[in-house]
Amino acid sequence: MAPLNNRVLAAYAAAALPLAAAALPVYVHAPKFYSGLGLDLALIGVLLLAVRVLDAVSDPLLGLLADRVPPRWGGRKAVLVAAVPAIAAGMYLLFHPPASGGGLASWLALSLVLVYLGLSAASISYFALGSAWSRDYAERTRITAARGAAALIGVLLAAALPEWLAQRYGNAAGLELFSIVYAPLLVVAVALTVLAGPRVGAVAVSGTLRIGDVLRPLRNPRFLRLAAIFLVNGVAAAIPATLVLFYVADVLQRPDLTALFLVLYFTAGAAGMPAWVRIAAHLGKARAWLLAMLLAVAAFISAWFLGPGDVAAFAIVCVLSGLAFGADLALPASLLADVIDDDEGRDGRPDGTYFGLWHLLEKLALALAAGLALPLLQVLGYVPGVIAGAGSALSWVYALLPCAIKLAAALMLWLFAPESSRTKLLLKGDAS
């Protein structure tokens, strides 16, 4: 099979940038923004949790919907396009609350529902579109890597632009401007993906729509194995993400360098993805992912030994673990596309249904990481804002715990690698 056209690949990847850029302002800036307007922190937390639960529960249903839109109506691209107004409106409303201050809680809830559901619908249909684009083993990894690189650029943009606008115009005004700038960026990027991206054939699932079909992937043994590995690995990755602000402030005692460390990590992730694409083409995706897990552990375990002022050493940890993180973005979703091949039949490819559950697992991993790490820190006696040197409870939970969980995921991957027999033939060169 001829390699995918780079221009079409870039056009497909375009939508990943604004979709990824939406998450940071919603998760990081919105709580502080609304607390500054006088909304009670406890109420903000309850609203965020309630809407997040609604969002997670809706993922499998949105995946089922993405599969059922007929190609003559636009298929998964139609779902992606339909989600754009909800995301843009939700982002605008989120940072343009009523001037009177009345009804803030309802306003926040409505804004979050629009953003969350819009992002979920767009992301699931977008990932499903990429999954159905190619049947080639190696090209699928190029697709997921390009999408992952664009997503990392979006994260960096979301980290830098609101900060720059806040410094120039003030925090509230900066966030308001970001929400205005975001809409045209989203529209242009999605238009590029829809109009200049892949032209996927008729892959919508036909037949009677049944809610029970959301569980269809659970009848696929390879999906169950891959999903278990993905969830455990996701928890390992989410624990440091949950605790990095505490670690940099209380162990390294350099909170002013947090942004630099994050930039190093995400830039290394983007830079490393082409290498993982090549490694996966030679070793297989499962083996390449296993190699990345071991690299992540070898690099990140060093954070246990670091203490106040160890800036250069932690920067190296960020770069090396970031390189390994690139594999997490490029390989699991590509493996999932291969797994969906097992379930492709006369009624079409249920990519959306699979990615609906996949997104649910991502959110579950984040919830499990927070639910495990934060209470554990409290039990171990950690107090935020108090110096916690090398070998402290914070270092243990931040560095050693995720490494142990990552090794468990690596063992699962080694024992239950979700590669198909067809994949093994392809890697040996016995099939075309």
Architecture of domain 209-417: Up-down Bundle (1.20)
Q: Are 293 and 349 in contact (CB under 8 A)?
A: no
What pLDDT is attached to residue 245? 81
Q: Are 356 and 380 in contact (CB under 8 A)?
A: no
The SS3 call for residue 43 is helix
User: With pLDDT > 90 as the criterion, what percentage of the chain qualifies?
Assistant: 38
Q: Are 412 and 232 in contact (CB under 8 A)?
A: yes
What pLDDT is attached to residue 126? 93
Q: Which residue has the higher pLDDT, 166 or 255?
A: 255
Q: Which residue has the higher pLDDT, 210 or 359?
A: 359
What phi and psi values does residue 345 have, to the nearest 5 degrees?
-145, -155
What pLDDT is attached to residue 105? 87
What pLDDT is attached to residue 345? 65
Please determine, for residue 419, whether its predicted confidence score (pLDDT) is greater than 80: no
Taking the C-alpha atoms of residue 92 and residue 317, their distance in angstroms, rounded to an integer, is: 37
What pLDDT is attached to residue 100? 65
Q: pLDDT band at 206, cuts 50/70/90?
A: low
Alpha helix segments (H runs only) across 197-345? 221-250, 258-283, 285-300, 311-330, 332-340
What pLDDT is attached to residue 312? 95
The SS3 call for residue 348 is strand
What pLDDT is attached to residue 208? 58
List pLDDT tens digits, range 375-410.
888 888 877 776 666 667 888 999 999 999 999 999
Q: pLDDT band at 421, cuts 50/70/90?
A: very low
Unique residue bearing structure tokens 């929400």: 179
The pair of three-digit structure tokens given for residue 84, joined into one six-digit string: 């754009």
List pLDDT tens digits, range 43-54.
887 888 788 888
**Sign of the alpha-carbon torsion through 127, 128, 131, 133:** negative
Please determine, for residue 171, whether its predicted confidence score (pLDDT) is greater than 50: yes
Please determine, for residue 432, whether its predicted confidence score (pLDDT) is greater than 70: no
List pLDDT tens digits, range 118-155.
999 999 999 988 888 887 878 888 999 999 999 999 98
Kindly state the average pLDDT of the residues 75-98: 92
What phi and psi values does residue 348 have, to the nearest 5 degrees?
110, -170
Taking the C-alpha atoms of residue 228 and residue 93, their distance in angstroms, rounded to an integer, is: 37
User: With pLDDT > 70 as the criterion, what percentage of the chain qualifies?
Assistant: 90
What pLDDT is attached to residue 420? 52
Q: Are 305 and 399 in contact (CB under 8 A)?
A: no
CATH fold of 7-200: Growth Hormone; Chain: A; (1.20.1250)
Instruction: Give the predicted TM-score (pTM) of the model.
Output: 0.83
Amino acid letter, 235: V
Please determine, for residue 427, whether its predicted confidence score (pLDDT) is greater than 90: no
Please determine, for residue 424, whether its predicted confidence score (pLDDT) is greater than 50: no
**What DSSP element (H or E) covers 195?**
helix 171-196
The pair of three-digit structure tokens given for residue 315, joined into one six-digit string: 């920067």
What pLDDT is attached to residue 389? 63
What pLDDT is attached to residue 388? 67
Domain boundaries, the chain: 7-200, 209-417
Kindly state the average pLDDT of the residues 338-343: 84
Task: For the chain, give the mean pLDDT.
Answer: 85
Cα–Cα nearest to 108, from 151, 45, 188, 197:
45
Q: pLDDT band at 204, cuts 50/70/90?
A: low
